[in-house]
Amino acid sequence: MKLQVAFDVKSYSHLQKIMKDIHRHIDILEVGTLLLKSEGVDTIKKAKKEFGLPVFADLKCMDAGKFEVQIAADAGADYITILGASYENNIKEFIDECKKSNVKSVVDSINCPNDKILRTQDMGIDIIELHTGYMNKVGSRPWDDIEQIYNKARVPIFMSGGMGSANLKEMEKFKPKIDTVVVGRAIVYSDNPKEEAKKAESDAAAGLGALFG
């Protein structure tokens, strides 16, 4: 199981400061939506050059998928996200352009019915990201959805948002299809990012994913 760290920060210098301490402990570097909006896609290029890790560009594309993929792929992104709530023709165009650009396509489950998320597999999606968004204080969490999606998933699953060590027992039976755990605030905004990254690295290596989001 891989570990991805999500940097939803306002400046590249913030990412840079933390990554210098944690880059040896993670597998994928996520340039978050907030950073992309704050400083643009050049952050993808800079992060990849400086740290040499695969870069996950959390575009959360909603429209004009083909062109957004081209922009992020040109900057060096290895993974790009589209919202499952987008138009199906946009999702298909996004996926096709990802394939042309040799980039992994990722569908984000925020505010999207499970059946539509699963249908993206027939369009050729590479990864399903089961994601509880920052503003979702109540309602379903990723581990509620995974039970409904798990048996029908034919692609790897990334888990993101709202999970902690208390949920380990709930997750153990789903380990085989969880490819990557995504940790954000638990590392980026902790008092000791390096120690939190080391703990998350150990948990991910054990296939447990103790820290999420």
CATH code for position 55: 3.20.20.70
Query: Could you tell me the CA-to-CA distances from 119 to 59, 66, 178 in Å, in that order?
Result: 21, 19, 19
Q: Is residue 88 part of a domain?
A: yes
Neighbours of 154 (CB within 10 A): 10
Q: Is residue 118 part of a domain?
A: yes
Q: Is residue 210 part of a domain?
A: no
Q: Is residue 211 part of a domain?
A: no
- Looking at residue 173, its pLDDT comes to 63
- Looking at residue 170, its pLDDT comes to 57
Q: Quickly tell me which residue has 């996200």 as its tokens.
A: 81
Give 29-41 as a DSSP string.
Answer: EEE-HHHHHHH-T
Q: Is residue 213 part of a domain?
A: no
Nearest 5°: phi and psi at 83? -75, 130
Q: What is the pLDDT of residues 13-60, one digit of tens each?
A: 999 999 999 999 999 999 999 999 999 999 999 999 999 999 999 999
Between CA 188 and CA 176 the distance in angstroms is 27
Instruction: State in Å, rounded, how far the first CA of the chain is from the last one.
Output: 16
Q: Is residue 29 part of a domain?
A: yes
Kindly tell me the burial class for residue 52, based on how many C-beta atoms sit within 10 Å of its own C-beta (0-12, 13-18, 19 or more): exposed
- Looking at residue 171, its pLDDT comes to 59
Query: Could you tell me the CA-to-CA distances from 23 to 50, 140, 193, 194, 199 in Å, in that order?
Result: 10, 32, 11, 9, 13
Domain limits for position 53: 2-205
Ranges of residues in the chain whose predicted pLDDT is under 50: 137-139, 164-166, 168, 209-213
Neighbours of 81 (CB within 10 A): 27
- Looking at residue 78, its pLDDT comes to 98
Q: Is residue 212 part of a domain?
A: no
Q: Is residue 119 part of a domain?
A: yes
Q: How many structural domains compose the chain?
A: 1
Strand partners, 152: none
Q: Reduce the DSSP state of residue 15 to 3 states and report it.
A: helix
Kindly tell me the burial class for residue 139, based on how many C-beta atoms sit within 10 Å of its own C-beta (0-12, 13-18, 19 or more): exposed
**Strand 28-31 versus strand 178-183 pairing type:** unpaired
